Amino acid sequence: MNDIAAQVDLFHPADRVWRALTDPELLSRWFTEVSAVPDAPGRLRFATSELPGFDAAVEAEVVERREPELMTLRCREGGRRSLLTGELTPTAEGCRLSMREVIEEGEWSAEQRDAREQSYQQALTNRLPAILDWYAFQQVDLRRGDAGMTAELPVVAWAGGEPRRRRRAVVLVGAGVGVLLAGGATAWALRPEPPRQPVAQATSTPTPTASVSAAASPRPASAATATRQARPTSGSPSPSRSASPRPSRTPASSAPPPAAPTLSARYETVSSRLLGYSAEVVVTNPGTVASDGWTLVVTFADDSEVAKVNGAEWRQEGRTVTFTGAPLPAGGAQTVRFDVRDSAAFAKGPESCTIGDRPCEGL
C-alpha cells in the first residue's frame, strides 16, 4: 500500500489546532523539532530520524495552504518522495484532524508503513490533545473578575504557580473638593475694587496741566516739558487730583498653542510559526498634550499578508500596511497586534516600521 491515514476528533476549535500544526514550539512538543533548511528558502527539515517508521530527517515544502482548513507538504526522505496532507473539519465539539501521506516516488516496506502510521496515530491521539489542553489553559483570562474579559488574554508560565490576586485601588477626591472651595473663597476676598469714575470740576475755564504738575512735583521741569504740559485741553475739564486714574486695558498676549507631541513606537515579533508570525507595535505619546491621532506604516520585503488586526484601523496596499488610530492622551499608549502570513519559512519580521517620520524601536 502506498498511503498512510490517521485521524482524531479534538475538543478544540480549528484555529487553535492550526496553531499547533504550524507553530514550531508547539509542533516540537507533540511531534518533532522543525527548522528551516539553510540555502533553501521555503524548505523545512523535520527531525524524524529517530521516530518509528522513519529512516532519516524529512525535508518538506508547502504546496497548498488554506488557513485554517488544509495544508499539503511535499516530503523527501532518503530516496522517497510523498505528499503529506493535514485537513481540519469543524465538528459540534471542536474539529476533526485527518492526516494522509501518499507515496509519489519509492515505497515503504510493510513493517515501515505500519510503524509510520502508528507514529502518526500516537502523536495525534495522545500528545497533540495534551498540548492543545495546555495551550488552551494559557489563553484563559485569570483576571476576568477585575473588570470583565480583557481583549488580549495573558500567557501563563508553563510551570504553573498560583496566580496572585490583584487588589483594587480606591481613589478619594474629597480633599480636592475642599481645596477648590477654599481657593474660591480666598480669590473672592482679595479681588480688586472697581475703579471710581472721574468727577468733573464745575468750571468753564480749562486748567492747564502744568499747574497740576508743578504743584505735585518739586523738581523743575525742562523747557520742553513745560511747553508740552502748558498746552490746554481744548475745553475738557481736568480731572481732580483725588480721582483715581482709569486702569489701562492691555490686551492679553495670546500664547502660541502647544506643539503637537512626537509619538514613538516599539515593534516586537511575539511568536513565529511555519509560514508566518505574530507581531505587536506599542504606540506611545510621551508628550504633555493629546495627539491628533496617529499613523503607523509597516513595509514588508516580500509578499507577506496581514490578518487578525487588533487595536487599529488598517489597509494593505502591496507590501505596505497602514495602521491608523484615535487620538492618544498625554502619556497614553495603544497596542496594535496582528498576524503575518509569509511564504518564507520562519520569516523574521517586516522590512521597516515608522510612526510619523520616526522609525520604530526594536526592529
Q: Which three cell numbers stand for residue 105?
A: 516516488
**Predicted TM-score of the model (pTM):** 0.50
Is there a contact between 99 and 120 (Cβ–Cβ < 8 Å)?
A: yes
Whether residue 96 has pLDDT greater than 60: yes
**Listed residues 92, 122, 138: the one ending a domain:** 138
**Pick from 90, 111, 75, 98: nearest CA to 6:** 98
Report the pLDDT value the prediction gives residue 356, as an integer from 0 to 100: 84
In a domain, 271, yes or no: yes
Report the pLDDT value the prediction gives residue 97, as an integer from 0 to 100: 96
In a domain, 254, yes or no: no
Report the domain count for the chain: 2
In a domain, 180, yes or no: no
**Listed residues 114, 138, 162: the one ending a domain:** 138
CATH number, domain with residue 336? 2.60.40.290
CATH number, domain with residue 113? 3.30.530.20
pLDDT (average), residues 26-32 = 92
In a domain, 258, yes or no: no
pLDDT-derived band at 254 (thresholds 50, 70, 90) equals low
| Segment 271-324, tens digit of pLDDT | 877 778 889 999 999 988 988 889 999 999 888 889 889 999 999 999 999 999
* Rounded (5°) CA angle 119-122-124: 105
User: Residue 105, SS3?
Assistant: strand
Which residues, 6 or more positions from 191, have their beta carbon under 8 angstroms from its beta carbon?
none
**Listed residues 138, 159, 174: the one ending a domain:** 138
Q: Judging by DSSP bridges, how do beta strands 320-325 and 294-299 pair with one another?
A: antiparallel
**Pick from 358, 279, 354, 280: nearest CA to 322:** 354
Q: Judging by DSSP bridges, how do beta strands 3-10 and 95-105 pair with one another?
A: antiparallel
In a domain, 17, yes or no: yes
Q: Which three cell numbers stand for residue 199?
A: 468727577
Weakest-pLDDT range from 58-62, 75-79, 164-168, 288-292: 164-168
The residue segments making up the domain with residue 342 are 264-359
